[in-house]
Structure 1
């Protein structure tokens, strides 16, 4: 019997099959072992010693962790907990991977390394090296997955230090006092969106402070099964954000937000931390929730056909579905077109689209078949991973000249007349 796996939780699954249509890997692979109930059954068997962790690895590693099955489940199966227990046992048995040791344990929490990454990417784009690599076809030496992602890297900008220094005061009456969570990868690849997020919150009537000592949320480490590093990062963030009182801790990153709101579950076995973690989690909110609550004022028309691709972790973990849509509906001049099967994962899932590229692209192609039905001018996203994945989908379909991919913050800022 393997007592480290979430064995008791597997018995909540009654094998009804409601999860099957919600599962992207079951949709594209069509095999029971790649469905939620199939994976739950495999974990149960591994817990009982009937099969080894290695024998279920092919199935479990191909799970996106989107947790759509939890939303569909009528018996409230804690699939996320079951999946995490597998990841932790696997890491304990096999040890930490090289990428976890180099990037996730050290790099994502190291601000100097993140700043260097941002600077290097800006140099790559602005110095002519990027263009030279494409002209000479030197980029072809990279593996297919890395070539694909190199082609859709956004325009990298430097984070605005002035926005991250001190506290920004709104021009009108202060309605809320908020702390802003920048994330790690977000501030490397999408610093512009963080900058616009801070300006939007200020525009909506918030006092905004970017906490200096904040660190990585721990989501990617958690997905790897590195609970030790994840817990350490959570504690560092809790300490950093609780030094002052804030009404909310706001972020614009669906995946990070999902990690932040589960800090209390992460630290539930540590009595000295659980209440502090609960307070942190309860204050953590996606920016769309705050802007919808404050009834932000729009001043410009955005006359475009828009569809929305929600972040799985924003919808399925944070349970935020209405706020982004309410904001999109209210933008003057827009025509909103619902995306068929919008709740189906796009296939990004943290680093899934890098390490399981082909499987990810099959899921993305399924998603893009629905996008082509709607013929939007703009695809709105709410998470950096989803943003890059949808850019990839647009490129794979040859729609770059017709369809733009933006974060919801960008289109809201445009409607408010804010510039980066």
Structure 2
């Protein structure tokens, strides 16, 4: 970093950081054992929440200068927010991290990879769902045309880093472009009376690459007694922008989504991706200084609810649910647990399925190392964290690892592939798992009735 760049970063820290929040940290150290990067770096204080807060405060106070070492510490943070629930002072570390990244990345000259990622993906693709459909449509063509098999057979994939090669193998089968465009916007309950009217936040990646999981979510809500509205003008939640130091663009995404959902007049806004949901509930903080949007953001945030929470509230776990006998474990989505405070509901739903033996893995709520695009930009640390996670999962003897976030899902599939366990273990999003359990139980119920009727 040259002198001018250092000065810009230091000024940005002084302008953007919430100094009162920095001062809330009492340096007690309760956060240390909960931080994956602190543990995995051999208890290096620089890579702990307490250490990072000290660096942020030092920059604001002018005690230390911006450096590559400071940037490395901020970049290496997963943003999992596991430090927040254990903090006796209630420090909102996730907000401080976003402010710090905003200060750094809006003040320094970007590298070429950063320019590409932000210019193409964050600014031009994720905010425009039609472009997301176009991009994932290319991936669908790659998978269906035989190009994927050819790339794997000819060794072309060996040109890419190991993590990306393995990730390419575990990507879901992407729907055709036409399927992604034909999305329902208003649905009624199935086989039951209406209990709630909800809006569904479909997301960007979730409604393209993981469209089948979105379809399963909608079906579960229908079975649970919900009328569902899916606003057409909704957009990407902005989480990747916020976590990458693009807070201004994240605010624009927030405004688009608030406006899109205001007209729906629903009881709740339902999400099925832990990372998206945790960022959506932060809109009130994101727009707190905007007098035109602060109250609208408060109303929006008050309605956000994860799919597992509403299913439990509507007693979905008391309906017939069954699957073939198997051991199942659950990997917490960091942002679902630490951001949305949703922890028991997924477990309650899994434990209600006949045929399923639920076994809690050690450190189920410790980050899996996915963290948005962390497993690409910080691959070494991500794989180190994933190796620990897979060790805990294997100790449960589970056939299925269930999770509640697309990034976690791909990371666990990546771990299964790396361990050579793809023939005996699988990773599944919880809504896909629950839908299979519901439909199997109810198909069995119908079959039993038909047999009884035939015998009469």
TM-score under structure 1 normalisation? Answer: 0.96
Matched pairs, number: 419
**Range with greater deviation from structure 2 (100-109 or 163-172):** 163-172
Give 1:120-199 correspondences, 5 Å limit.
120-158=138-176, 159=179, 164-199=184-219
Q: Does 1:293 align with 2:308?
A: no
Note if 1:279 corresponds to 2:293.
no
Instruction: Report deviation, 1:95.
Output: 5.3
Deviations 1:176-230 (A, max 9, x none): 0011111111222211100000011001100011111100000000001111110
Question: Which string of whole-angstrom CA distances, capped at 9 and with x for unpartnered residues, describes residues 80-110 of structure 1?
Answer: 1211110111122125631112101120011
Offset of residue 366 of structure 1:
1.1
Moved more, 367-376 or 163-172: 163-172
Q: 1:105 aligns with which of 110, 119, 123?
A: 123
CA apart distance, 1:333: 1.4
Instruction: Give unpaired runs (5+ residues) of structure 1.
Output: none
Q: Distance in 2 between matches of 1:117 and 1:195?
A: 20
What is the alpha-carbon distance in structure 2 between the residues aligned to residue 312 and residue 370 of structure 1?
A: 16
> Equivalent residue for 1:406?
428
Q: Over the residues paired in the alignment, what is the CA RMSD in angstroms?
A: 1.6
The more displaced of 318-327 and 300-309 is 300-309
Asked whether the 8 Å contact 2:330–2:403 carries over to 1, the reply is yes
Is the Cα–Cα contact under 8 Å of residues 229 and 264 in structure 2 kept in the other structure? no
2:288 is matched with which residue: 268, 273, 293?
A: 268
Is the CA contact (8 Å cut-off) linking 2:189 and 2:221 kept in structure 1?
no
Q: Residue 26 of structure 1 aligns with which residue?
A: 38
In structure 2, stretches of 5+ residues that fail to align are: 1-10, 443-456
Match of 2:261 in 1: 241
- Report the equivalent of 2:132: 114
Tell me, yes or no, if structure 1 residue 47 matches structure 2 residue 47. Answer: no
Name the residue aligned to 1:58.
72
TM-score by length of 2: 0.89
Cα offset, 1:122, TM superposition:
1.4
Deviation at 1:160, TM superposition (A): 6.2
Shift, 1:364, TM fit: 0.5
- Indicate yes or no: 2:97 matched with 1:79: no
Aligned to 2:451: none
